[in-house]
Structure 1
Amino acid sequence: MKYACSLLALLALTAPARAADDITVGFAIAKSGWMEAYDTPAATAAKIRIDEINAAGGLLGQQIKVVEADTRTDRAEAAKAGLDVLDQGAQMMVVSCDYDFGAPAALVAEGEGMNSFFLCAEDVKAGLQGVGPNSFSSSVLAPVQGATMAEWAYAKRDARTAFVLEDTFIEYNKGICTGFDWMFPQLEGAEILGRDTFKNDDASIASQITRIKSLEKTPDVIMLCSVMPGAAAAVRQIRAAGIEALILNGSAVDGSYWLDAVPGLSGFALPVQGAIYGDDPRPEVEAFNAAYEAKTGARPASQYAYPGYVLIDLWAKAVERAGTVDGAAVTAELEKMQAEPTAFGPRSFSAELHHQNTALMQIVEITGGKPARVDEWQISQPVPLDVLMGK
C-alpha cells in the first residue's frame, strides 16, 4: 500500500502539465448567424497569435489554452456563452465584434473581475464606458475612421464641400458620420452642404439622390456612413444617377467581395488598419496575411481579421508585465500602454479610454473596380471623449 501511494505521488510529479496549469482564454463568439462572418476571421487571427506565443515558450511559462462557446448571434445566448467558457476555466474572455452582441458575455467576465476583449468592436461602449474597467477593444473607433477620411480628403483630394449620407442601421454607421461631422467643419474653408439618412434595406434612395443633385454646389465628396449590403446598393444608385463625387466610407466596406454589384467602380475610398491586397508597406502585415492563408487556405477577406491578432498581442504583453492574469493587474498594465508597437501600428489605452481615438490608417481606393492601398493618414488630433460619446 505504501509502495502504491509512493508510485502515485511520483506519477503526479512526472505527468504532463494538467489543464489547470495552462492559461485559458475563452472565446464567447458567434460561430453561427450573421455575426459569424465578422467573428470567425478575427478569432482565427487571435488563435494565430496564441499559436505563436505558445511556440515561443508560452505566457508566464505556461501554454495558452483556448475554449469556445457559440453565441449564435443572439444576445441571450451571448450571456450563456460567457458563462459556458467561464465554466470551462476561462481566465480572459474574447467576445463578439459588435458591442450589442458581445457585451452580454463581456459583462459575465466583468462580474468575475476578468479581462474581456471585443474582437473588433468600434463603438466606444464596447469597453470601459459600456461594460466596465476590465474590458477593451484593440480596433479603431468608427469616429476615428470618419475623421480620418475627412482630413485625408481635404489634404490629399482638395475636398472643400461634402454631403453626408447616413445609414441608420447600426451605431457603427452613426459613429463614422460623427467623426466626419466633427473633423470636416474644423478645416479651413470646408463646408458640409447637406445631409440625409436612409435605411440599409431601402430598395431605393432616389429622394436622397435628388437632394444631392439639387444642391447649389456639387459636393466634392459624399461621406457615406454605411455597411453591406446597403452600402453597395447606395453606391450603385449614386453612380447610376451620374454623380461622380469621391465617395468615402468606413472600414466595414473593406474587401472586394461586393464590387461585382458596382461594376467598374472608381472614386471610392476608405480607411483600414492594414491592407489585405499585398501592397501594405509594413512587412509584418504581409507576414500575417501569409500566416492567415497558411492556416485557412485563403488570405483575409477584409481588415477585420487584424484586431484579433492585435488584442492577443497586447493582452499577452500586459500579462507578462503584470506577472499574472489577474484582471485588475493586467488592466493597469494595459492602461500604461502609449503608442505600443504592434504589427498593425501603435496602440494606446488610458484610464479614461480602452479604445483607439487616433490611429495610423492605410487608405484604400477603388479604381476601375480594383481596390489598392494608395496612402496612409493619421488624424492631427485625437477624437475627444465627448464626441465619441455623442455629446
Structure 2
Amino acid sequence: MGAPGIRPPALAALVLVVVVLAVCSGCGLFSQGTVVSPAPIIDDQGQPIAESSPVPIATPDGVPLPDDTIVIGALMATTGFLAVYDEPALVAAQNRIDALNEAGGLLGRPVVLRHFDSHTELSAMRNGAEHLLLDGIDLLLMTCDAVYAAPALEVLEGSGTLVISPCGTDDVWITGELGQRVFSMATPVSTEAELLVSLVADRGFTTAVVIIDQTSTEAVAVCEAFERKFEASGGRVSGLYRYQPTDPGLLGPILSGLIDTVPESIAFCGTRLVGPEEILAPIRAAGIVQPIFASSTMDGDHWIGKVPGVGDFTMLSYASVYSGAPDPSPAVRLVLDDYLAATGHRASDGRMVTGHDAIEAYIRAAERAGTTEPDAVAEQLRRFDGEEMAIGPVTFGPDLQAVADRPMRVITVEEPYARFSRLAVAEP
C-alpha cells in the first residue's frame, strides 16, 4: 500500500523511519493531572543512564517506495517518559523487520517501518495517526498507554486499519472495546495482579500492605487490582498507601503504617525512576525487612545498588535480561542478542521483547491469510490458540484481543544481582 516508486537498491538493509515533530507544549499526560513525569535517572557522576535506545536512522518523508511495499507505521514515543516503554519495543520490532527483509520479505514483498514520535504528548497522537494514514499503512504499532492511544484510535475508527500495541497493558485492550482490529501483545494488568497475588500466596502469606508509586498509571492499576484479588482470595490488605514525588510528606505515613501493622508482606507497584530511592531505600533504612513483591514496572537491576539492604525482593518480568541467569527461552535470548547488537547495550528490562512478538504475530497471521488485508489478518490473529511466541504462548479469540493467560517470569534479588527464578502461570 506504499506510494508508487522505484525499488531502491539493497532494500533488505534499509531502515525507513520517519520522525515527525508534532508537539503541543503542555499537552502531555502530566498536564491532565493523572501522572507525574519523573526526571531521567543519572549515575553518581550526574550522567544520564541509558534507559532507551538510539532512534533508528531517519529517512526523509517522501522517499519513493516500491508499489508492492508493505508499510508498517509506528505511533510510539521515543522521547518523554513513555519512551522507556515504547522505544525498546520499537527497536525490537525494527530488528524483526530487518531480519524479515533479509529473508525475502513478507508474502514476497519488502516491508518498511515508518515511525512518528508521539513525544509523550496527547496532542501529537491525532496528528501522528492522520500522517501515518496518508502513508497507506498496512499495520500500525500503537503506543503502550491506552490514554495516549485513544485520540489516535478515534482517527483510525472507520479507516479499517489493523492496530497492534506491543506493550499495551490496560484491560481495555482485552475485549475489543478499542476496536475489532485492535490487539495488544502485552499482559493485561488484571492478569499481572493475579500473578502478584500468587507470588504472595505461594509463600504462605495472608496479610499484605500495598504501596503504590503514582507516577505510573500501570503501576496504579496493577496494585489496585491486587488489593481486590488478594482479599477475594482470602488474604487481608492491612493498609494501602500512595506516593507522589511531588509530595514527599507521603513517605512518613507509609513508614509508620508498616511499623504499626507489621504485615507479613509488602506488595509494591512502582517505577524504576522513583521507587528505589524515594520509597524502597527509606523502607529498608527504617529496619522494615518484610518480603517485597513488585510488579513488572520495577523490572531491571540497575537500581538495586540504590537500595542498600534491598533484602527479600521478588518481581514479575516479561523476560529475563540478567546475564547471571539467562532467560529459559532460546528465542528470547536471540531477541536480546539482536537488541544488544542494534543498540550497543543490553535491554533495561524484558518488556521490549513484545515488540518482536508483535511483528512476529503479524507475519504469521498475514502468511496464513495470504494477504495484508486488515480484516483477513485480524481474523487469523483471533485464531491464535497457544501460538508459541518468543516470550510464551499467545491466545486470542472473539472476545480476547490481549494476551491474558501467558506466563510471566519471576525475578528474585540475590543482592547485588537480580536473577530469573521460575515461570508464574495465571490460573485458568
Question: Do both proteins adopt the same fold according to a TM-score greater than 0.5, normalized to the shorter chain?
Answer: yes
Aligned match of 1:349: 396
Per the TM alignment, residue 158 of structure 1 is displaced from its structure 2 partner at its CA by: 2.3
Kindly indicate whether the alpha-carbon contact (under 8 Å) linking 2:7 and 2:66 is maintained by their aligned counterparts in 1.
no
SS of the counterpart of 2:98?
A: helix
Per the TM alignment, residue 80 of structure 1 is displaced from its structure 2 partner at its CA by: 0.7
Stretches of structure 2 lacking an aligned partner (at least 5 in a row): 12-64
Q: Which of 146, 152, 161 is the equivalent residue of 1:99?
A: 146
Q: Distance in 2 between matches of 1:182 and 1:326?
A: 41
Q: Distance in 1 between matches of 2:212 and 2:83?
A: 25
Instruction: Please show how residues 289-300 of structure 1 align to structure 2 within 5 Å.
Output: 289-300=336-347
Instruction: Please show how residues 150-169 of structure 1 align to structure 2 within 5 Å.
Output: 150-155=197-202, 157-169=203-215
Q: Which of 108, 116, 120 is the equivalent residue of 2:163?
A: 116
Stretches of structure 1 lacking an aligned partner (at least 5 in a row): 1-11, 382-391
Per the TM alignment, residue 15 of structure 1 is displaced from its structure 2 partner at its CA by: 9.7
Q: Distance in 2 between matches of 1:21 and 1:92?
A: 15
Q: Which of 320, 327, 349 is the equivalent residue of 1:275?
A: 320
Per the TM alignment, residue 248 of structure 1 is displaced from its structure 2 partner at its CA by: 1.3
Instruction: Please show how residues 176-191 of structure 1 align to structure 2 within 5 Å.
Output: 176-187=222-233, 190-191=235-236
- Relative to the length of structure 2, the TM-score reads 0.80
Instruction: Please show how residues 1-391 of structure 1 align to structure 2 within 5 Å.
Output: 18-126=65-173, 128-155=175-202, 157-187=203-233, 190-204=235-249, 205-215=251-261, 218-232=262-276, 233-278=278-323, 279-381=326-428
Kindly indicate whether the alpha-carbon contact (under 8 Å) linking 1:275 and 1:362 is maintained by their aligned counterparts in 2.
yes
Q: Distance in 2 between matches of 1:309 and 1:107?
A: 26
Structure 1 residues 130 and 172, CA gap change in structure 2 (3 angstroms) = farther
Kindly indicate whether the alpha-carbon contact (under 8 Å) linking 2:174 and 2:404 is maintained by their aligned counterparts in 1.
no
SS of the counterpart of 2:209?
A: strand
Structure 1 residues 159 and 257, CA gap change in structure 2 (3 angstroms) = same
| Equivalent AA in structure 1 for residue 317 of structure 2 | V
Question: Could you give the per-residue CA deviations for residues 226-266 of structure 1, whole angstroms, max 9, x where no partner exists?
Answer: 22333222111211221111111111111123223213422
| Equivalent AA in structure 1 for residue 217 of structure 2 | E
Kindly indicate whether the alpha-carbon contact (under 8 Å) linking 2:170 and 2:188 is maintained by their aligned counterparts in 1.
yes
Structure 1 residues 149 and 340, CA gap change in structure 2 (3 angstroms) = same
Q: How many residues align?
A: 366
Q: Distance in 1 between matches of 2:371 and 2:243?
A: 48
Per the TM alignment, residue 363 of structure 1 is displaced from its structure 2 partner at its CA by: 0.4
Per the TM alignment, residue 286 of structure 1 is displaced from its structure 2 partner at its CA by: 1.2
Q: Distance in 1 between matches of 2:115 and 2:365?
A: 22
- Relative to the length of structure 1, the TM-score reads 0.87
| Equivalent AA in structure 2 for residue 30 of structure 1 | A
Per the TM alignment, residue 281 of structure 1 is displaced from its structure 2 partner at its CA by: 1.5
Per the TM alignment, residue 180 of structure 1 is displaced from its structure 2 partner at its CA by: 1.9
| Higher CA-based Rg | 1
Q: CA RMSD in A?
A: 2.3
Report which of the two has the higher share of helix.
Answer: 1
Kindly indicate whether the alpha-carbon contact (under 8 Å) linking 1:223 and 1:247 is maintained by their aligned counterparts in 2.
yes
SS of the counterpart of 1:20?
A: coil
Structure 1 residues 258 and 201, CA gap change in structure 2 (3 angstroms) = farther
| Equivalent AA in structure 2 for residue 109 of structure 1 | L
Kindly indicate whether the alpha-carbon contact (under 8 Å) linking 1:280 and 1:373 is maintained by their aligned counterparts in 2.
yes
Structure 1 residues 239 and 27, CA gap change in structure 2 (3 angstroms) = same
Structure 1 residues 357 and 93, CA gap change in structure 2 (3 angstroms) = same
Aligned match of 1:8: none
Structure 1 residues 255 and 40, CA gap change in structure 2 (3 angstroms) = same
Structure 1 residues 260 and 187, CA gap change in structure 2 (3 angstroms) = same
